[in-house]
A and B are shown apart, each in its own frame.
Chain A
Amino acid sequence: MREYILEMKDISKSFSKVKVLNQVSLKVRAGEVHALVGENGAGKSTLMKILMGIYSADSGEILIDGKEVKIQNPKEAISNGISMIHQELNSVLDMDVVENIFIGREIVRVGAGSLGVVDKKMQLRQTEELFARMGVSINPKQLMRNLSVAQMQLVEIIKAISLSSRVIIMDEPTSALTGKEVKTLFEQIDRLKAQSVAIIYISHRLDEIFQIADRITVLRDGEWIGTDEVANLDSEKLIKMMVGREIKEFFPKQTVPMGDVVLEVKNLSRGSHFQNISFHLRAGEILGIAGLVGAGRSELVECIFGLTRPTTGEITIRGHRVDVRSPGVAIRNRVALITEDRKLTGLNLKASVEHNISLAELTRLARFGIINDQREGEVTESYIDKLKIKTNSRKSLVASLSGGNQQKVVVSKWLLATPDIIILDEPNRGIDVGAKRDIYLLMGDLVKAGKAVIMISSETLELMGLADRILVLAAGRLTGEIDRPDFSQESIMRYASEFQSGNMV
């Protein structure tokens, strides 16, 4: 048997002159869990998209069983035995489990001629066989909608097996799973390994990687940094490889004396999204919020910002109780929210950099409703300079900028509103390492200037590097509060999975 089932050699890829992958190699053995790690923007997802045929590489080759293959689209990837389980699961929610497994390649009833009648019985039988083989106990006739995220993921895994995949890519498979569900997933992964399926495992959770992976490949800034056996690495070494410097340097933590309480949230609840949340925030503080995907973190800050109304509870800003009816009220109270998905909720991609930056503060740039173009141009330019936004001109469409620079545009928009309380929801998703560091530095500047920052992040490293205090949410409840000296990935994970055992703080 050959040593490697899959080899990606010297893969390079550029997007509009920006090199996102430079001569990257990845060699995967049959029956191993190969962790692919790196910060956001390191090039992991681009590399995987090339493997899945979603992008084509500018140069380099892909070998399967030692033979070169050309993968032009996901269909060809699948026929070469490669499948991917995406972080955002793309199941059809209104179909049942069986239909989802066989979507696009339904078994047609024999004898019915070319009528294309689906053989539901056969599909059901095959599904049941697969479930039995993998020890999955999900009713195949259930609608996808009624499954938990973990169950949906299992269905995706079963689907990958039914495609007789020999390489399965798992992109952040545990980001929405509780501790117990993670254990079930790992059991499935062990079964796959036993059947000599190779797993490419992408995750930010280092503890998990050390638990499940056999070998690790590290990417940074589109470069291949190294590949090694897990036994030869520890988290210290791995982090150093990922961020390219000592962790203390990478997270430029500014410790400033804490000021008064600027925000106090008391018993805040909103339907089934979150219940009974209370916390306070001081000037000069960076408060981290950790939790699994779906724990209610974004819902909580959206409610504080007035995008949704709480069912019960109080919000006090600088000592005054405020009824935050709308984002407008929040902005007037000097609260800013940098939302999680900049393309969906942060930017107007059809507008220019300038028009995006000025949007929340137009009235201040206008007299009698008429915008002062000169002033708008000046303040826009000042933020382009201050945040080092790379753009041809302030009139360029914001859609033409890279992810990191787009994020800086969103940040500029909110800084222009001169907020005292800045809420950042996953501010570093999908941006390159340089931009990320700029955002970290900016957060330091903000607290030094006496502002208060709330940061939601799924990267515990980032939270631990920057926050003064971390709140942990699980299933809509506040399950833990950790002060900086007591930070650890284990304790965050424990609190984040807590609702299962049913004991709340």
Chain B
Amino acid sequence: MNRLSALTRLNKKGLDLSSLRELGILIAFVLILAVLMILSPNAFARPSNFINILKQASINGILATGMMYVIISGGIDLSVGSIVALTGVVSASFAHPGEYPLVVPILLSAVIGTLIGLLNGAGVAYGSIPPFIVTLGSMTIVRGLALIAAHGSPVFNVTKAYEALAGGFLFDTIPHLVVYFLVVTVICAFVLTKTVFGRRVYAIGGNEVAARVSGINVNRMKLAVYSLSGFLAGMAGLLLASRTVSGNPTSGQSYELDAIAAVIIGGVSMTGGSGKWYGTVIGALLIAVIGNGLDILNVSSHFQLLIKGSIIVIAVLLDIKGKARQT
């Protein structure tokens, strides 16, 4: 082997074409940000509003991170919105003053979310049921469980400590929610890009058979990926209930779709195998920025839906066109 030439080539960074896609989203994001800042220099462009946007993006951002893993692995998880509701209800029920320590509702949320994810993964991996069907089923079942657990109405009366989980601030300025979002993003981005596990998530989504031939235990990977999504949904449910100071069995409706939207806008391919973590972050921020900006501009929420939907379609269109050009 020619070691010298190998090393010289090693130092040259190859042009990574796949990141152009994320660059496009970043430009779109900056443009939208700029337009909103011009339209509303006083209300929108205030620093405190930016922190507000981050806060609004955080729950969807946490869900989207789990969703990203699932979609890169070639699947989809429709159950996360229902998991949010169930863990919200259960954790709030165990957070009444004078009953259990705070660790109980936290652990319950984590365990319930992970367990549902594990069952989703088992259905996909060992039942060979298409992920869409498995998680459509669990979405409905878990929603039912949430309603049963709450006897149909929201659970109120929670401790101050529970409320402070999401409602508190770090250094009196940064909302806890933003901190969690940041922590989840940093850990999940590291795992996705730097570890064997992350690489295998891409591998099974890119070509499941080739991954299997290469000695990867595909079924175990799927269990892990859906469990991660379930765990993060469980955490999101805890945080939402804390933020709203109640466990509401009808909360989290269509959250799965917002999470999927963030992932797709961020350039993750629906067919799996490709996508970047920062794309998903931008996707989640973009959705929050649009919601926040349009609220400030007094655009009715009905019209916001039109705009959000259009952006999703345009993002995917860009993706498809970009791929067509590559081949």
- For A311, the chain B residues whose CB sits under 8 A away are none
Q: Tell me whether B215 and A345 are in contact (CB under 8 A).
A: no
- In order of increasing CB-CB distance, the 3 nearest A-B pairs are A393-B14, A348-B206, A395-B14
Question: 20 extra interchain contacts, Cβ-Cβ under 8 A, other than A345-B209, A348-B207, A384-B9?
Answer: A326-B215, A327-B213, A327-B215, A328-B216, A339-B213, A344-B207, A345-B207, A346-B210, A348-B203, A348-B206, A351-B203, A366-B196, A369-B195, A370-B194, A381-B6, A381-B9, A382-B3, A385-B2, A393-B15, A397-B326
- Asked if B327 is an interface residue, CB under 8 A from chain A, the answer is yes
Q: Tell me whether A385 and B5 are in contact (CB under 8 A).
A: yes
- Asked if B46 is an interface residue, CB under 8 A from chain A, the answer is no
Contact with A along B157-200 (1 / 0, CB 8 A): 00000000000000000000000000000000000001111011
Nearest-CB residue, chain B, relative to A326: B217
- Asked if B269 is an interface residue, CB under 8 A from chain A, the answer is yes
- Asked if A331 is an interface residue, CB under 8 A from chain B, the answer is yes
- For B327, the chain A residues whose CB sits under 8 A away are 399
- Asked if A386 is an interface residue, CB under 8 A from chain B, the answer is yes
Nearest-CB residue, chain B, relative to A372: B194
- For B272, the chain A residues whose CB sits under 8 A away are 350
B278 CB, nearest partner CB in chain A, Å: 17
Known: A350-B269, A351-B273, A385-B1. A359 touches B203 (CB 8 A): yes
A-B contact count (CB 8 A): 117
- Asked if B16 is an interface residue, CB under 8 A from chain A, the answer is yes
- Asked if A461 is an interface residue, CB under 8 A from chain B, the answer is no
Contact with B along A368-410 (1 / 0, CB 8 A): 0111010001100110111000001111110110000000000
B202 CB, nearest partner CB in chain A, Å: 6
User: Residue A348 contacts which of B9, B12, B195, B211 (CB distance < 8 angstroms)?
Assistant: B211
Give Cα distance in the complex from A397 to B327, angstroms.
11
Contact residues, B3-19 vs A (CB, 8 A): 3, 5-7, 9-10, 12-18
Known: A369-B197, A370-B194. A347 touches B207 (CB 8 A): yes
- Residue numbers of A with Cβ under 8 A of B are 305, 307, 326-328, 330-331, 337, 339, 344-351, 355, 358-360, 362-363, 366, 369-371, 373, 377-378, 381-382, 384-386, 392-397, 399-400, 413
Q: Is the interface of A mostly helix, strand, loop or mixed?
A: helix
Nearest-CB residue, chain B, relative to A348: B206
Q: Tell me whether B207 and A349 are in contact (CB under 8 A).
A: yes
- For A349, the chain B residues whose CB sits under 8 A away are 206-207
A36 CB, nearest partner CB in chain B, Å: 28
- Asked if B42 is an interface residue, CB under 8 A from chain A, the answer is no
- For B274, the chain A residues whose CB sits under 8 A away are 350-351
B247 CB, nearest partner CB in chain A, Å: 36
Give Cα distance in the complex from A369 to B196, angstroms.
5
Nearest-CB residue, chain B, relative to A353: B14
- For A382, the chain B residues whose CB sits under 8 A away are 1, 3, 6
Q: Tell me whether B10 and A371 are in contact (CB under 8 A).
A: no
Give Cα distance in the complex from A389 to B213, angstroms.
22
Give Cα distance in the complex from A307 to B206, angstroms.
18
Nearest-CB residue, chain B, relative to A306: B215
- For B17, the chain A residues whose CB sits under 8 A away are 397
B124 CB, nearest partner CB in chain A, Å: 18
- For B14, the chain A residues whose CB sits under 8 A away are 392-396
A298 CB, nearest partner CB in chain B, Å: 12
Q: Tell me whether B1 and A344 are in contact (CB under 8 A).
A: no
12 A-B contacts (beta carbon < 8 Å): A305-B213, A326-B217, A327-B214, A360-B215, A362-B199, A362-B200, A370-B194, A371-B199, A392-B15, A393-B9, A395-B16, A397-B17
Known: A345-B210, A351-B273. A378 touches B10 (CB 8 A): yes
Q: Tell me whether A351 and B195 are in contact (CB under 8 A).
A: no
Nearest-CB residue, chain A, relative to B202: A351
Give Cα distance in the complex from A476 to B196, angstroms.
38
Give Cα distance in the complex from A394 to B213, angstroms.
22
- Asked if B212 is an interface residue, CB under 8 A from chain A, the answer is yes
Nearest-CB residue, chain B, relative to A414: B214
Nearest-CB residue, chain B, relative to A329: B215
- For A413, the chain B residues whose CB sits under 8 A away are 214
Q: Tell me whether B202 and A386 are in contact (CB under 8 A).
A: no
Chain B CB within 10 A, most for which of A362, A378, A413: A362
Q: Tell me whether B209 and A381 are in contact (CB under 8 A).
A: no
Q: Tell me whether B214 and A378 are in contact (CB under 8 A).
A: no
Q: Tell me whether B15 and A355 are in contact (CB under 8 A).
A: no
Q: Tell me whether A345 and B202 are in contact (CB under 8 A).
A: no
Give Cα distance in the complex from A206 to B248, angstroms.
75
Give Cα distance in the complex from A399 to B205, angstroms.
15
B307 CB, nearest partner CB in chain A, Å: 31
Give Cα distance in the complex from A351 to B72, angstroms.
12
- For A362, the chain B residues whose CB sits under 8 A away are 196, 199-200
B192 CB, nearest partner CB in chain A, Å: 11
Give Cα distance in the complex from A363 to B14, angstroms.
24
Give Cα distance in the complex from A425 to B181, angstroms.
48
Give Cα distance in the complex from A373 to B13, angstroms.
13
Known: A327-B215, A371-B195, A385-B5. A347 touches B10 (CB 8 A): no
